[in-house]
Amino acid sequence: MTTPTEPYVLNIGPQHPSTHGVFRIRVVMDGERIQDIDMIVGYLHRSMEKLAEERTYTQNIPFTDRADYLAAMSGNLGLCLAAERLARVEVPERASYLRVIFAELQRIASHAMANGTLVSDAGAWQTPLLYMFREREKILDLFEMTCGARLTTNYMRIGGVAFEPPPEFWPALLELVDELPERISEYEELLTQNEIFIARTRDIGVISPEDAINGSLVGPALRGSGVPWDLRKAEPYCIYDRMEFDVPIGRNGDVYDRFMVRLAETRESVKIIRQAVENIPDGSHKTDIPLALRPAPGEVYGRVEGPRGELGFYLVSDGGPAPYRFHIRAPSLINLSLLRELARGASLSDAVVTLGSIDIVVGEIDR
Amino acid sequence: MTDRHSELPATPMARQIIARRSLLDAAKAAPVSLKVAGSIVLLGLLLVNALIGFIVVDGQLDGEWYDFRDLGYAMERLRIELDEVNLGPWLSYWVTGLIGGLGILSFIGGFLLIGSWIERRLLARFQVRMGPNRVGPFGLLQPIADALKLMQKEVLIPMGADRLLFFLPPVLVFVPAMLAWGPIPWAPGMSYLDINVGLLFVVSITSLSVLAIWMAGWSSNNHYALLGAMRTVAMMVSYEIPISLSLIVVVLITGSLNLGEIVAWQTDHNVWLAVLLPFSLFTFFFSSTAEINRTPNDIAEAESEIVAGFHTEYSGMKAGLFLAVELGNALFVGALVATFFLGGYGLFGLEQWIPPYVILAAKASFGYFVFIWLRSTLPRFRIDQLMTFAWKYLIPLSIANVLVVAVETSIAARWEVEAIFIYGSFAVVNVILTVIAVRTWARVAGYSSSFERPEPPRVAPMIGGLKAARRIKAGA
Amino acid sequence: MPSGPTQIDGGRVANALNRALPGIATTSTEEWVEVESSRLEEALRWLHDSEQFDAAQLSNLCAVDYHDHFTVVYHLQSFDLNQQIVLKVRVVDRDTPTVPSSYPVYKGALLQEREVFDLMGIHFEGHPDLRRLFLWDSFPGHPLRKDFLGIGEGLTSGLQRFPFENKEQPDRLLNRENIVEQGSQETPEGWSGVAST
């Protein structure tokens, strides 16, 4: 004689300590097992794509800051690259080097946040997060020194970067780059052999390479599944083709692999920054463009390898100062396509950890 | 550190933080007269202590009611006086009981005031940040500010909640936490509740909080709370068994359920049970983290998943009571570990000089420090991993532990050798047996060393898609 | 000039498509190839399975509103061959625009098609769960359309002249050239917003 049971609905609502922003999941649960989930987004929809049709390309750069607010430099870079391709603007070499330095600094900061919040979701009361934030604070101080803002930097311009970094930037950057590798080793030591962490992340949220590719997964999540794809190597932009760095890939496609891939990528970013600082030439930091740039009619799909994956900008121009169509290909939204299959049958704790490992930023999802 | 930072244009917040001095800086910067006065006061304290030590050594304090090392003498004297008053035999019972109750309450209350500060400050220092340092000197008044804030909050009761069942749990969880402190011996004659079944009393009273937590989760009319309550009940009930089993071995060796006698056994034989029973110490400590819902076993109030578990809907002083009880329980388990395994109030003879309750307080605080350390460092277990660990690992090994210790106890009763020889050999044998048993049982139950040494990510030699991935996987 | 460094010639793709599935590709330029909208799924599947193009991943799916028709743009990426194909589909019907869904071929189209449906109003047949993504279910209209009346005063989106571009004749009127005659646009059902003046 069994007691009748029925599934209940748990609403992991827009306000929650671990949903990485205003992101809502309606979970139908049977005891501790998830039967089905429904993701409800749109709490941060700011109609960026519509507003961008009334603003010039340069005026649209701050939108990209606020789309993926944890990777503002990458967003800026993507839009500037796409617009430059559309309008055929040449970028001076020094500007390219500066762009690479800032993009990689942003990658380190973003991965620190992603990994830290993942471990916090797994239960370590923000200790690893705050340790990783030491470096992120220094990086944000560097940003503030250069462009005045920590988070929404608005630093790249069509044709280069906005400002030349001040003289005190370079010694601070070199100091940070010197002490980062041993800090990363410290994090590796603390976490990667920790049995509880391994028990919480190993064989959880496994994505096979076929599912990953078909599900339009990109970024460290795709690389964690073993697929060696990185836009910096495949379609080198700026001066990435002159940089020597490796692309780490995972073996199993579980949460642990995605975590380790991000940690390894921070090491590679440090290498890139060091090479860029050594080889940076003198020159101007941007080319002059008209106030309202009018690219020839046409379209472009420009993309960069942001911390979350392929951040693409599809721009259609009709010859006017504003883009006719401005579309942001948001990796966070598209990486979520697989979440439903991953969460079915998992327990709630596992689903939370899996969501943390996919690394979403709601600003980018909703735009 | 200050030099490096003065080069960077620090934000106003950073400048303020750097400018705030630490205790050491404040001490170094004090004026000379203050330092001289401080040193004189310290010397005076040393002299007073030496004087007291002299009196103690001279034996002039032993057994007198003013022997501050053991307040049990004073209470005994009070009881005798009250019995002579001839108002009835129950007067001494009631008065001493009331004094005892007030004593526990004041002790716990006092600890909670400082314990919250210690926890937040220590947690912060582990996390490379400062912790509360604004409210009062070095943030010491923070717990009072917290208590005042919680007390003046609006009383919110969720709409579908069962009113009576919603009001009861904070009280029902505080009372056992307070009562369970009774049997703990603070000095040879000084325990609030010197009963012959102290251990049984402690274990059974702490089990009552399971009911209170379950009531809290159920009555909140909230799915998060229900989940948290379910997890808690499952977890706490499962971990009662390893606790009881690990305490049975303590009873076996010391021959008594009375906590005072357990500590007396340890002081008489000059050995701590932690040395003799390492596995029991670990089991007791780990299972207690599950009992009191602390990391790594705080799945019941896993903040990142179910907001706050069973106390999601509680606000104001009700939530304050839950949080206070969590703190108090942590210290209580520290005191229990000290009593059972770390020698209680004894410190190899030093309890004649230093008041024993100070020693016990120090050991309990050390236990509390270990709890905070664990909380700040370790991630938490999933509920099914917790259950697996309790039922498949801890319980079988604890049963085996009981068998081994029973055999050892009967050997100790019959073997006519020096006690140190017996117990020394037991300690060695126990440690070796623990290591062997844990390793073999882990292998049997499916553990393999690849669990703790996963392979690091590999470097991609080429860029590509599925074909490249397959080639890399095959090639490696 | 191809706008991406790894974008392959649309003409080549069109030729290969027409050889395999005759008549499927309607037009092509250097940059993109346009496919008949009813046979979209066939084309995508052929490109996905072919050795020559190996379109393993759907990088981007979005829609553009060219006042008289819609165009749905697909960016297909091949990892092993490191090349990108741009596929377009034209939808002429503005009242009930429909396109076959690419979910059967690419699972990654799940949320992207919902977004296009939400903001542009294009129906995807064969999508398992076509609902609005960002906006609430009863939101009137589809905002990214050029004739969506959210701007007010009968204006459509677009910018003819940046206000301070000409220092001698600064003007604050952003897109007066885009004014549509009053009453020539239909108000969606249930819309009680600003733009009725």
Is residue C5 a part of any domain in this protein?
no
Indicate if C47 and C121 belong to the same structural domain: yes
| pLDDT at A123 (0 to 100) | 73
Residue of B462, B466, B470, B471 for testing the chain C interface, max C β-carbons within 10 Å? B466
Contact call for residues A302 and A312 (beta carbons, < 8 A)? yes
Instruction: Please report whether residue C17 resides in a domain.
Output: yes
Supply φ then ψ for residue C62, to 5 degrees: -150, 170
**Same domain, yes or no, for C84 and C113?**
yes
Q: Which stretches in chain A have pLDDT values below 50?
A: none
A180 close to A266: Cβ distance less than 8 angstroms: yes
- Residue in C107, C159, C164 closest to A337 by CB: C107
> Which chain B residue has the Cα nearest residue C78?
B465
Per-residue confidence (pLDDT) for residue C194, from 0 to 100: 44
Q: In whole angstroms, give the CA distance from residue A229 to residue A237.
A: 15
> Are C97 and C19 within one domain?
yes
Q: With cut-offs at 50, 70 and 90, classify the pLDDT of residue C150.
A: low
Query: Which residue has 């608005």 as its token pair?
Result: A154
DSSP characters for B320-373? Answer: HHHHHHHHHHHHHHHHHHHHHHS-TT--TTGGGTS-HHHHHHHHHHHHHHHHHH
Same domain, C151 and C114: no
Tokens of C170: 């600064």
Flag if A123 and B379 touch (Cβ within 8 Å).
yes
Provide the shortest C-alpha distance from residue B465 to chain C (in Å): 4
pLDDT for position B437? 87
Give yes or no for residue B466 having a pLDDT over 90: no
C contacts of B468 (beta carbons < 8 Å) = 79-80
Query: What integer pLDDT is reported at residue A98 of this predicted model?
Result: 94
Give the neighbours of chain B: at least 3 Cβ pairs within 8 Å.
A, C
HSE-up of A219 (CA within 13 Å, CB side)?
A: 31
ipTM for the predicted complex comes to 0.89
Rounded Cα distance between A326 and A55, Å, is: 10
Among all residues of chain B, which has the CA nearest to that of C57?
B465
Distance CA(A152)–CA(A168), nearest Å, equals 21
Reply yes or no on whether the pLDDT at B218 is more than 90.
Answer: no
Considering the domain architecture, whether residues C26 and C117 belong to the same structural domain is answered as yes
| Contact between residue B165 and residue B159 where contact means Cβ atoms under 8 Å apart | no
Q: Kindly determine whether residue C4 and residue A85, on different chains, have CB atoms separated by under 8 Å.
A: yes
For the segment B48-87, what is each residue's pLDDT rounded down to a tens digit? 887 877 776 666 666 677 777 777 778 888 888 888 877 7
Q: Determine, yes or no, domain membership for C172.
A: yes
Considering the domain architecture, whether residues C121 and C167 belong to the same structural domain is answered as no
To which H or E segment does residue B458 belong?
strand B458-459
Domains observed in chain A: 44-366 (1.10.645.10)
Residue at which a domain ends, from C78, C95, C125: C125
| Count of domains for chain C | 2
Q: What is the CATH number of the domain that holds C115?
A: 3.30.460.80
Of the candidates B375, B459, B465, the beta carbon closest to that of A125 is on: B375
Say if residue C20 is in the same domain as residue C111.
yes
Contact A249 B469 (CB under 8 A): yes
Q: B96-127 pLDDT, tens per residue?
A: 888 888 888 888 888 888 899 999 999 998 88
Band (pLDDT 50/70/90 cuts) for residue B381 is confident
Tokens of A253: 């496609």
- Give A266→chain B minimum CA distance, Å: 13
Contacts of A259 (CB under 8 A, 6+ apart): A115, A118, A119, A191, A201, A357
Does residue C131 belong to any structural domain of this protein?
A: no
Dist. CA B346–CA B420, nearest whole Å: 18
Answer whether residue C4 is part of any domain: no
Residue A36 contacts C, CB cutoff 8 Å: no
Q: Which residues of B329-358 are buried (b: 16+ CB within 10 A; e: fewer)?
A: bbbbbbbbbbbbbbbbbbbeeebeebbbbe
What mean pLDDT do residues C167-193 have?
58
Percent of chain B with pLDDT over 90: 21
Give residue B1's pLDDT band: very low, low, confident or very high (50, 70, 90): very low
Q: Are C122 and C72 in contact (CB under 8 A)?
A: yes
Q: Which of A212-216, B301-305, C158-162 has the lowest mean pLDDT?
A: B301-305
Contact C140, C190 (CB under 8 A): yes
Q: What is the pLDDT of residues B234-287, one digit of tens each?
A: 888 999 999 999 999 999 988 889 999 999 999 888 888 888 888 999 999 999
Helix (H, G, I), strand (E, B) or coil at C161: coil
Phi-psi region of A203 (alpha: psi -120 to 50; beta: other; left: phi over 0): left
Mean pLDDT of C121-145: 89
Q: Are residues C108 and C36 in the same domain?
A: yes
Higher pLDDT pick, A15 / B376: B376
Q: Which of C90, C125, C160 is the last residue of a domain?
A: C125
Q: Are residues C166 and C120 in the same domain?
A: no
Question: What SS3 class is residue A27?
Answer: strand
Residue C34 lies in a domain: yes
* Residue C56 and residue C102 in one domain: yes
Give the confidence band of B18 by pLDDT, cuts at 50, 70, 90: low
Please determine, for residue B204, whether its predicted confidence score (pLDDT) is greater than 70: yes
Does residue C170 lie in a domain region? yes
In a domain, C40, yes or no: yes
Residues 80-109, chain C, touching B (beta carbon < 8 A): 80, 82
pLDDT at C169 over 80: no
Same domain, C113 and C161: no
Domain extent, residue C76, equals 10-125
Same domain, C46 and C101: yes
Q: Which residues of C touch A87 (CB under 8 A)?
A: none
How much is the average pLDDT of C62-75? 90
